[in-house]
Homo-oligomer: A and B are copies of this chain.
């Protein structure tokens, strides 16, 4: 039986005076963390929070949010870390969906919390978890903790969640309809840490940096890696390249998790000096491939660091595949594997399937589906979307990709972007990859447009380099030399402006589609 919070007890027994978590000036030992977590769990039980109830948390990264990942499980409650980048209306939608009675908030979001509490009748307690004066009408986290006294551990034990019980809910923004609360279990989160261990070799000597937002599991999952290995977790409120460089040096950080942009921001900063990063032993990255130039530079300048790429999502606790350190040598035997996201964790049954859920063979692109212990329990309160996502026992990622003969996974965009032209499936990324190899092309994006004969037509939007020249036919001929005819653009729209981008720097194809359709009609 797995109970995540038991790892606090284990670490506090083995090394009570070792550092567990640091935030700004503060460091808590494992013994202190254990005492605080038991006490605050006990206090929340006395507030009337019952087994299976949700506790919402709205705040920037802190040691208190780290604690909140763990102690609610002691009373069988479920944490809901809220994404503070959402609008108030969106936050209200999440809270209205999971109906917590308690909302915990830090000093940055006091007004937002009040607005949410006004709109959501389920909330009857606001808890202020921060330093400084406690706002009117709120309970103080630290006062609750101090007043809790010695908790009755046996009584709490009877309430604790475990195993396949849901312990945390992350809301993922729904591009289709209302947000989905992803229900994750003790077992799924724990086993996902164990599954990464052979590649990353963590130990209790590791000092982890958490610099991504804890309302996302991408960053938050490192809480469990540090916990299970009894390592030391150092938290920064939010990512800033200078702050992160200082913290790495001060705390002698060994293990970091970045998105490639973060590493690029650090290595291109005027204050960057490789010597200040010399304690790094492991640099994990995800959410996007690492540009080959950045890898080459990092390998050369940070010789003590190894690199690992993880591919995953909230619904899979989160890791599906790992491209291990042995594949991060650009001069190695298989440099092409740096374009993959690696191989599935040993226990994952990962497949590529077509639109009828029939398995595809090596090299064939389709939807990535997975069955394994790390798959979510489902979406909170949404049995139909859960059944749809888990149909046939496999979680459907919505990501397109293919496996090579050796089982390395290559991503190919979202399944929804797939174009069906003349009965053939075309993934825009394949056409885009071909187009971008033409020397005159600066940027391109491929979409499907309605077509009388073919159902959908492959349509490319291209911006040429200022000194580049190529006709529509030139580019089509260029593609025909590289990929199957049905994957080549039938038509090309040229534009001079930059592509419209989302806040996460993805091309907004929906905008392109609207612009082109408006022009056509």
Contacts and interface: CB of A to CB of B under 8 A. Distances in A.
A6 B1 CA distance: 20
Nearest to A377: B1
Interface stretch (A80-88, A144-152, A186-194, A477-485): A186-194
Contacts of A118: none
18 contacts: A1-B187, A1-B188, A1-B373, A1-B377, A2-B191, A2-B373, A6-B349, A9-B371, A10-B349, A13-B351, A14-B407, A162-B164, A163-B187, A191-B191, A194-B194, A194-B195, A194-B346, A198-B201
Number of copies: 2
Given A13-B349, A162-B164, A190-B373, 16 more contacts: A1-B164, A1-B185, A1-B188, A1-B375, A1-B377, A2-B191, A7-B347, A10-B371, A13-B359, A163-B187, A190-B191, A191-B194, A194-B347, A197-B197, A197-B346, A228-B346
Closest 10 CB pairs of A and B: A10-B349, A163-B164, A2-B373, A194-B194, A163-B163, A1-B164, A198-B198, A197-B198, A187-B187, A163-B187
A229 interface: yes
A48 interface: no
Interface of A: 1-2, 6-7, 9-10, 13-14, 157, 162-164, 185, 187-188, 190-191, 194-195, 197-198, 201, 228-229, 346-347, 349, 351, 359, 371, 373, 375, 377, 393, 407
Nearest to A185: B1
A201 B195 CA distance: 12
Contacts of A188: 1
A183 to B, nearest CB: 11
A228 B351 contact: no
